[in-house]
Amino acid sequence: MLNASTPPRQGFWLPIFAGLCASLVSIGLARFAYTPLIPSLIQAHWFSASDVVYLGAANLVGYLLGALTGRPLARATSNKTALRWMMLAVTMSFFACAFPLSVSWFFGWRLLSGIAGGAIMVLVAATVLPHVPASRKGLASGAIFLGLGLGIAGSGTVVPPLLSLGLQQTWLGLGLLALILTAASWFGWPSTAVPEAAAPPIKATTPPGVYLLFAQYAFMATGLVPAMMFLVDYVTRGLGAGQHLGALIWVMYGIGAIIGPVSYGFLADHLGAKRGIRLVLGVQAIAVGLLSMSSSFTALALLAVIIGSFPPGIVPLALARVHELIPEHRQQQIAWSRATVSFATFQAIAGFAYSALFNASGGHHELMFVIAAGAIVVALLLELAMRLLAQPNEHACTRPTTA
């Protein structure tokens, strides 16, 4: 006999679909569709080049605010209500951005879309996964965050045809797509939530590995921002390859983003999340470093696939690491929320720092990629540093005492 909290055998796929739609709309489209629009926003003289770059960073600041306010918002309403309203907020922001009334107007709506994305990232897994059987949680997590990759790939394939109709029509088209996905997921969210009050009191201390993950996740965020913000502009204007080739490279980035959640989840299952993170960081540091010195289409396409797998792929990988380190469900939720805040904080800081450096350097794309590669190397070295710091303590604990 099934208890009340046990999901129906097939009933969990609809919540997974809702979660996929949420990540697709709020991050896949709301954040990543902006990247292929940057050259057009500049060329159409909607805003100056420096303003366009800063407006891209507004979404990252909003993401931090959303990561901080997501759980309080859900407590004030419910997870389902909060997720629905956040998807509607993103949809409204697309329609509002079709009218460039001022920089502050555009900034405000880009900020709101980021807030919605951060709140959804904190809430979506905690809303859906408790209703999924344990044997399917890994698959469900990958499917939810696959929405990020689908949004990135979709922005590379949907935005160019829309741009042929006009920049305003592009924003309206993205709004219509977001509205359809919001409507499709509206009744897919679980009708009941797992109450936090039912969880036993948490007395266990936080393992040191969790703090290491927070730090690594922060530097990962710093390392992925330049490609996320400047890749299309680098190909289009930096290399002078044109908007068509820039769009093709972004499609390759999107293909990598689709592959990322599944392949990184495979690494977590077969190598363990800790070793998986180590391997991914090494590969990404090399790929981002090579991006700063590549100009051929073949090299750029290959690197775009590898680098594109990183932003959505590390999410289920980091979540798997949290589950490795912390066995209790409520503690996992708290740790994941804090990890998301760590990621969002450094992503927002990096967004504005890279924007300022980009403008100060006269649009030096390669410099951004070199700094990004350095940040990923730091994330890789943090584990080694922590291991070295732990060794003296281990020796002190095992040193024999004298009478």
Domain CATH code at residue 248: 1.20.1250.20
Site of tokens 């909290």: 5
pTM of the entire structure?
A: 0.75
In a domain, 195, yes or no: no
> DSSP assignment of 356-400, as one string?
HHHHHTTS-HHHHHHHHHHHHHHHHHHHHHHHHHHHHHHHHHHSP
Query: What is the pLDDT of the chain when averaged over all its residues?
Result: 82
- Select from 120, 29, 30 the least CA-distant residue to 83: 120
Q: Are 69 and 114 in contact (CB under 8 A)?
A: no
Classify 155 as helix, strand or coil. helix
Q: What is the pLDDT of residue 302?
A: 94
Q: Residue 9: which pLDDT band, with cuts at 50, 70 and 90?
A: very low
Mean pLDDT of 143-165: 81
In a domain, 193, yes or no: no
In a domain, 249, yes or no: yes
Q: What is the pLDDT of residue 202?
A: 47
SS3 content of the chain, % helix, strand, coil (to 5): 80, 0, 20
Mean pLDDT of 24-46: 84
CA 219 from centre of chain: 13
Q: What is the tally of structural domains in the chain?
A: 1
61 contacts: CB under 8 Å, gap ≥ 6: 111, 114, 348, 351, 352
Q: Is residue 180 predicted with pLDDT exceeding 60?
A: yes
Q: Is residue 258 predicted with pLDDT exceeding 60?
A: yes
Q: Are 254 and 312 in contact (CB under 8 A)?
A: no
Q: Are 229 and 32 in contact (CB under 8 A)?
A: no
Identify the domain containing residue 125 by its residue range: 13-188+205-397
In a domain, 50, yes or no: yes
Task: Specify the higher pLDDT residue, 91 or 251.
Answer: 91
Dihedrals φ, ψ of 265, to 5°?
Answer: -65, -35
In a domain, 2, yes or no: no
Q: What is the pLDDT of residue 391?
A: 64
In a domain, 181, yes or no: yes
In a domain, 196, yes or no: no
What is the spatial distance between Cα 258 and Cα 310, in angstroms, rounded to a whole number?
A: 10
Site of tokens 């599944």: 262
Q: How many CB atoms lie within 10 A of CB 22?
A: 32
- Select from 167, 178, 158, 155 the least CA-distant residue to 250: 155
Report residue 33 as tokens. 């569709």
HSE value, Cβ hemisphere, 13 Å, CA-based, for 254: 27
Percent of residues, the chain, with pLDDT higher than 90: 21
Q: Is residue 3 predicted with pLDDT exceeding 50?
A: no
In a domain, 338, yes or no: yes
Mean pLDDT of 82-100: 92
What is the spatial distance between Cα 303 and Cα 83, in angstroms, rounded to a whole number?
A: 34
